[in-house]
Amino acid sequence: MLSFTYESLPARIKFGRGTIASLADAIEEVAGTRALLLSTPQQTEQAREATLPAEGQIVGHFDGATMHTPLGVTEQALDVLKQTGADCVISFGGGSTIGLGKALALRTGVPQIAIPTTYAGSEVTPILGETVDGRKTTQRSPKILPNVVIYDVEFTLSLPPALSGISGLNAIAHAVEGLYARDTNPLVQLMAEAAVRTLATSLPRIMAAPQDIEARSQALFGAWLCGTVLGSVGMALHHKLCHTLGGAFDLPHAETHSIVLPHALAFNAPMIPEAMAALRRALGTEDPAGALFNLGRTVGAPASLKALGMPEAGIQTAAEQAVKNPYWNPRPVEFEAIRTMVARAYAGERPVEG
């Protein structure tokens, strides 16, 4: 007999092609009149052009967002928010920009409108990861959740195929852990399995034909599902390791997730038979961890943490931090086993179950 708790997150989702035309209405929906636009330096011009439908409601642009949401950057953005008198924020971009919007909302209560241009999925989660002095910590709060998300598939067409693949693998990691989270439930498991299947099918199509609008739409839909899973349940060892590695060695977020994903899954596989069965269905294989490792090679993701610039001594550091205040995990988090797993990910070896 089923018994579970499921709480639906209260965000408004606008999904389709050309949905950016609704931006001005979205600002009104959150009771905003003076919006601060956020982006990374690399997306400055794209952000300004994309948000022209609401040009008259935008009073400033902070384009200093960066990965892992360092506290110093958030403080700079807070100054701009105060100087402009903005009463809402528009986060245009991937996880770095959306994370900055969340950090501002947490501190000031301003409503957020997120316009994702990658497959990160963080736009639909009440979760914020911040970095201070090389250590990344996460927190969860209703204040962190964006109020409106505008998914416009047009903005993903310019995402290079390699970045599309890495971003998509990052999203898949959320769904995979959602399948065996301590507080998972049947609705989350349905979304997670569908998300993995959708992204695993669409990402190779994008690599072959980057302008395939249907493949892009499916990938964006899959990313939304993955983010919804991440926002609905707690995470486990995979996310603990990635936060540790990202904060300690300033490794790129999505690439780190794509590398760690198959290894963390293989580590937990003996303890999660139902999740493995769902992944076998979603991926059409008896070896889900191996299939995810292969998908990484198909989409051109780096295979090793070494390739990202992590020092070999980081294997020991990551294992030590992973066993300190560990997230819940279906398999006990023991130092030697974690060290061995991180070493394989460092070297770019294939994942090994058990």
- Tell which of 104, 132, 156 closes a domain: 156
Q: Which two tokens mark 185?
A: 């439930």
Please report the pLDDT score of residue 125 as a whole number.
92
**Domains in the chain: how many in total?**
2
302 inside domain: yes
Tell whether 289 and 318 lie within a shared domain: yes
Domain endpoint, select from 101, 128, 156: 156
Q: Is residue 109 in a domain?
A: yes
Where do the DSSP E strands lie in the chain? 12-16, 35-38, 58-62, 88-93, 112-116, 127-132, 135-140, 148-152
Whether 127 maps to a domain, the answer reads: yes
Please indicate, yes or no, whether residues 101 and 145 belong to a single structural domain of this protein: yes
81 vs 336: CA distance, rounded Å: 47
Query: Is the Cα torsion angle 312, 314, 315, 317 positive or negative in sign?
Result: positive
In a shared domain, residues 177 and 148: no
The answer to the question of residue 53 being in a domain is yes
Walking along the chain (354 residues) 10 residues at a time, the average pLDDT comes out as: 75 95 97 98 97 96 94 97 98 96 97 96 92 84 95 95 94 96 95 98 98 97 95 91 87 94 97 98 98 97 96 93 87 95 97 88
**101 plus 185 within the same structural domain:** no
CATH number, residue 305: 1.20.1090.10
Q: Domain check: are 119 and 241 in the same one?
A: no
DSSP H/E element including 204: helix 186-208
> What's the pLDDT at 81?
98
Distance CA(253)–CA(167), nearest Å, equals 9
Same domain, 201 and 322: yes
pLDDT given for residue 1 in this prediction: 60
Find, among 169, 194, 209, 121, the residue nearest to 301 by Cα.
169
The range of the structural domain enclosing residue 182 comes to 161-347
Q: Over 33-87, what HEC string results?
A: CCEEEECCHHHHHHHHHHCHHHHHHEEEEECCCCCCCEHHHHHHHHHHHHHHCCC
- Checking DSSP bridges between strand 135-140 and strand 127-132, what pairing results, if any? antiparallel
Same domain, yes or no: 177 and 69: no
Do 255 and 297 belong together in one domain?
Answer: yes
Which domain-ending residue is among 130, 156, 182?
156
Query: Which of 203, 216, 207, 230 lies closest to 291, judged by CA?
Result: 203
Return d(Cα 268, Cα 202) in angstroms, integer: 26
Model pTM?
Answer: 0.91
